[in-house]
Structure 1
Amino acid sequence: MKYCMQCGSEYQDGVKECADCPGSLLVDAETLRQHQAQSSSEADTRKFVRAATAEDPLTADDYVRVLETERIPVFVRPRRTGSVDVLTTGVLEPWWEIMVGEEYLERAIQLLSREKAELDATADEAARAAEEEELATEATSPPPGAI
C-alpha cells in the first residue's frame, strides 16, 4: 500500500497520485510514519484571513473550487445558522467566509473577483431567459377560465 505524504490517504500500489492532493508524493507506510513524527513536533503557524464572502453554500463551494484549482490553501467558515441570528444578535454578516492563507490573499482576491463577475453575468443572463420564457408561456396559454 502507498500513502499520501500530505493527507495520509491510503492507496493501492498502482495509483500514481493522491485524488485529494494532486502533486503530493505517495510513499510506503514507514516513510509516512517518519514524516509524521518529524512534522508532529512542528506547529502549524499558517495564518488564514478572509478573502471573500458568499451568501449561499453553492457559491462558497464554487469559490473553494476556484482556489483549490490554483492550489491556494482554503477553508470555509459559516457565519450564521439562520435568520434567527439576525433577530437575536442584531448583526447581519455574510453566510460564509472564504478563508485563505495570508500569503495567498492578493491572488485569491483577484481570482474570486473574476469568478464573482462571471457568476453575476451568468445570473443576469438566466434572469433574462426566465423572463422571456415566462412571457412566451403567457402568450401561448389560454386565458383563465377558458378551460
Structure 2
Amino acid sequence: MKYCVECGSEYQDHVTQCADCSEIQLVDAAEMRRRGLPLPHERDTREFIRVGTAEDPLTAEEFVRLLEAEHIPVFSRARRAGTVDVLTTGNPHPWWEILVPEEFTQKASELIAQSKAKMDASADENAQAAEDEELENEQASAPGTAS
C-alpha cells in the first residue's frame, strides 16, 4: 500500500499521486514511519472532553492560545450557530466549546476559569472607567460650570 503524506489516505500500489491533494507523490509505509507520520489505522483515537465555552470566536481563540502555550492539545468548535438553533434554544448568539484530551481536563478547566476571572475583572474595570468618564463629561458640560 501507498499513502499520502498530506492527508494520510491509503492507495493501491499502482497509484502514484493522491486524488485529493494536488500533485502529492505517494510513499510506502516505511517512508511514512521514517517521516514520523502515522498510518491511517494508527491515527489519534483520544477522546476530547469539553472543558469550557466561549461566547465569541475571539475569546475561543484566546482560550486555545492559552492552552497551547501550556502544551495542551486543544481545539474549539462553534455550536448553536444556526437559525434553527436560535429558534429552539432561545439563544440568539453562537457559542464555542473548547475541547481537550481527557487526561488534560482538570488543568485546562483551571486555566480557563482563571482566564475568565481575569476577563471579568478587566470588563468590570473598563465599565467603571467608562462610567467615570461619562460622569466627568456630564459635569464638564453641565450649565453653570466654568469651562
Amino acid corresponding to residue 103 of structure 2 in structure 1? E
Q: Structure 1 residue 129 and structure 2 residue 129: aligned? A: yes
Q: 1-side partners of 2:117 and 2:81: how far apart?
A: 26
1:80-109 Cα distance to aligned partner (Å, 9 max, x none): 22566221x236496110011111001001
Match of 2:135, as an amino acid? L
Residue 83 to residue 139, structure 1, CA distance change in 2 (3 Å): farther
Show structure 1 runs of 5+ residues with no match: 1-30
Alignment: residue pair count: 112
Is the 1:53–1:94 contact (alpha carbons within 8 Å) kept by the matching residues of 2?
no
Match of 1:81 in 2: 81
Preserved contact between residue 76 and residue 98 of structure 2 (Cα < 8 Å): yes
Which residue of structure 2 aligns with residue 120 of structure 1?
A: 120
Distance 1:86 1:32, change over 3 A: same
Counterpart CA distance in 2 for 1:39 and 1:95 is 33
The higher radius of gyration belongs to: 2
Cα separation, partners in 2 of 1:109 and 1:132, compared to 1, 3 Å = same
Q: What is the aligned-residue RMSD (CA, Å)?
A: 2.6
TM-score, L = length of structure 2: 0.66
In the other structure, the counterpart of 1:39 is 38
Query: Does 1:90 find its partner at 2:110?
Result: no
Q: Percent of aligned pairs with the same residue?
A: 53
**TM-score, with structure 1 as normaliser:** 0.66
Letter in 2 for 1:39: P
Instruction: Measure the CA separation in 1 of the matches of 2:77 and 2:105.
Output: 16
Letter of the 1:115 counterpart? S
- CA–CA separation in structure 1 for the residues paired with 2:132 and 2:64: 33
Counterpart check, 1:103 vs 2:103: yes
Q: What residue in structure 1 maps to residue 23 of structure 2?
A: none
Aligned twin of 2:141: 141
Instruction: Give a deviation string over 1:87-137, Cα, whole Å, max 9, x none.
Output: 1x2364961100111110010011111111111100100000011111111
**Superposition pairs of residues 8-23 of structure 1, within 5 angstroms:** none
